[in-house]
Amino acid sequence: MENFGVKSNAADVIFTNVTKVYSQQSIAVDQISFNVRAGELMTLLGPSGCGKTTTLRMIAGLEAVTAGTIVIGGSDVTHRPASDRDVSMVFQSYALFPHKTVFENVCYGLIFSGLSKTDAEEKAKLGLELVGLEHLKSRFPSELSGGQQQRVAVARALVLEPQVLLFDEPLSNLDAKLRRSVRDEIRDLQQRLNLTVVYVTHDQEEALAVSDRIIVMDEGKISQIGSPRELYEQPKSLFVANFIGDSNILPCTVSHSNKKEKVLTIGQVKIKKTDISAKNGSTSALIRPEHIKLTQKETTSALAGTIEKATYVGSKIEYNVATSVGSIFVISLSDHQEFRVGENIFLKLAPEKLNILDTR
């Protein structure tokens, strides 16, 4: 695909049993395997020290692989140097040359790769048009806002027309409002140009907003791979459930009702479900705070509770509710009925939104 004279050479990325060991006591990445599809934005998400940035740097060739293989666009690049990989990286610090203008910064990589000055300038002009900064081409980085510097770094990477574009915590230096607009710009560019992007962040909201799929990492291993919706609504582990979004993890007992139906017992409440395959016995159930309805009407299908805390935050009200199975966090739209601290209420758990976590 071609757009504004900058074309996409999107390629897939395949990791097979890749390990990175710094020392016997430090295994940064532990036998991970995954496939980034051509034209897909895949995010590596996890807490500090989980191995996500090391994984990104191994794609770029900035970290050597201890074991396993990396294939980009059908070619084994496991032991190729960074200069021999068709990959561009947008660094957290932007890494712009302070003594060069915006235009010269975008031209630099093109000229360094062997393009003529005339061709490099034409492509740099198109790249700056792509990110909406052609009118600032004569400025120096110090004269730009953080968001503008980020867009220059993106333009510089895009004009090289890489097979894979890498982002390392690209929004971490921006304020909250700017983060939202720049992440939307990155996603829009990725989709318009059909780019293969691998994106690293520790911010789960950012990951949910920009990604086609997300790899959740923990201590050098992959905990789960899935779409934003899959990871939010169907996490497979306590770690993923707690790391992505607000969650309530409730003690639960699973038992048979009949061949097709199972009964979940949470406190004194019994909930029937036909869409689970969990084994009988004690486990944990996940439900998100927005999937719980508070009511004053007593019912056998709802947990009894007492409002411990109520916080108005504009479009919604956040409640902490004491129950027999522990404190439960509930989010209710602010135009719904409001409950007072100390008030006795009942919590209705949406059966279709209950997700069983096998913690045994």
> Looking at residue 214, what is its pLDDT?
97
Q: Which pLDDT value is given to residue 345? A: 95
Spatial CA neighbour of 290 closest among 255, 245, 253? 245
The predicted structure's pLDDT at residue 7: 63
Return the closest-CA partner of residue 165 out of 195, 185, 209: 195
- Condensed to tens digits (0 to 9), the pLDDT of residues 232-253 reads 988 988 899 989 989 999 999 9
Task: Give CA angle at 353 (232, 251), nearest 5°.
Answer: 95
Q: Please state, for a pLDDT cut of 70, what percent of the chain lies above it.
A: 96
Q: Which residues, other chains included, contact 162 with Cβ-Cβ below 8 Å and sequence gap of 6+?
A: 9, 86, 87, 88
* Residue 240 region by backbone torsions, left for phi larger than 0, else alpha for psi between -120 and 50, else beta: alpha
**Dihedral, CA of residue 210, residue 242, residue 239 and residue 13, to nearest 10:** 0
pLDDT digits (tens, 9 = 90+) for 50-59: 999 999 999 9
Low-confidence ranges of the chain (pLDDT < 70): 1-8, 358-360
Q: Which of 15, 100, 109, 21 is nearest to 56 (CA)?
A: 15
Residue given tokens 């009925």 in the structure block:
337
Structural contact between residues 153 and 164, judged by C-beta atoms closer than 8 angstroms: no
**HSE (CB half, 13 Å, CA atoms) of 347?**
33
State the pLDDT at residue 201.
93
